[in-house]
Amino acid sequence: MILLDGAVATELERRGLPMAAPWWTTRALLTEHGRGLLRAVHRRYLDAGARVLTANTFRCNLRALRRAKLDERQAGHLVRLAVDLARSARHGHDDVMVAGSVAPVEDCYRPDLVPADAELRAEHRWMAGQLAAAGIDLALIETVNTMREARIAVEEARGAGLTAWVSFVCGPRATLLSGEPVARAAVAVHRAGAAAVLVNCTSLDAARDCVAELATLGTGAIGVMPNLEPRNGTPVPPELFAALMSSWRQQYGLALLGGCCGTTPAHITALNGLDDAHDGLAAGTRAVHDRP
């Protein structure tokens, strides 16, 4: 099992950094104070046991930053800065990988807004090139809501020489927000070159249904990063989260565990307490670091 980190936006907000359009989490890159907060978040997750730190590039794509009145050169600078912060936070831990976060080019929760293929390809090619130049270890294409964009993002990441993991945001009945079956989407991105398929920013109930489907495919490493934002004012305690993830790992053969919105370093610490959290780490890393 490989431990991923948890939510970045949640931790930045807890430290007083507002999350609002058009900057969202990218706001942390704009000032020394914000960069210090972000560096501290990365280190907290490292100390919690995460062996994949996700660079704060989720909102650094061209479309998002053009809305913030930045040009392509300025956007590229922020991508490199985000990767550098994550890399420097590793404290010399060579076994810790840095993932570049690749978001949908439009809205994570609006599959109806996904643009035409040519636009997707151009913008994902730009992001993949920026991440490759910045020296990331892998591209985490996350919170993707359509099979079409996921496949194109993987193809562009692979074209830039990057290992690609894909993580889908899903709704009920083991489907993407687009309504496409997660199993069919997983097969498509695996064929495009994805080394692992995950589910993220999805409720626990819906995530369980998805990983149960993924476990039947035999298409490679699978994982989950659930959304733990409180419902009805009731948070999910770290110990309960870890116990649930332990049962899923055993039942569905999960290779990658982390968290999305609402998770904290305490949740990753609890996952790190699972009996074999580090067993076979090197072998597991090789297994999901590139497509066989």
Known binding residue 210? Answer is no
Residues 6+ apart with CB under 8 A from 292: 220
Dihedral pair phi/psi, residue 165, rounded to 5°: -110, 145
Per DSSP, the residues of 255-287 read -EE---TT--HHHHHHHHTSTTTTTTHHHHHHH
- Token duo for residue 206: 């819906």
- In which residue are the tokens 């409720």 written? 203
- Token duo for residue 139: 């591209």
Strand partners, 198: 167, 223
Strand partners, 54: 99
- Token duo for residue 117: 């293929």
Q: Tell which residue, 40, 185, 177, has the closest CA to residue 112.
A: 177
Residues 6+ apart with CB under 8 A from 24: 9, 58, 59, 64
Residue 27, amino acid: R
3-state secondary structure 55-67: ECCCCCCHHHHHH
Q: CA-CA distance, 213 to 223, in Å (whole number)?
A: 12
No. of helices (H) and no. of strands (E), the chain: 11, 8
Angle (CA) 222 224 227, round 5°: 165
- In which residue are the tokens 């989950």 written? 224
Which residue ranges are tagged as binding site?
201, 260-261
Which residue ranges are tagged as binding site for Zn(2+)?
201, 260-261
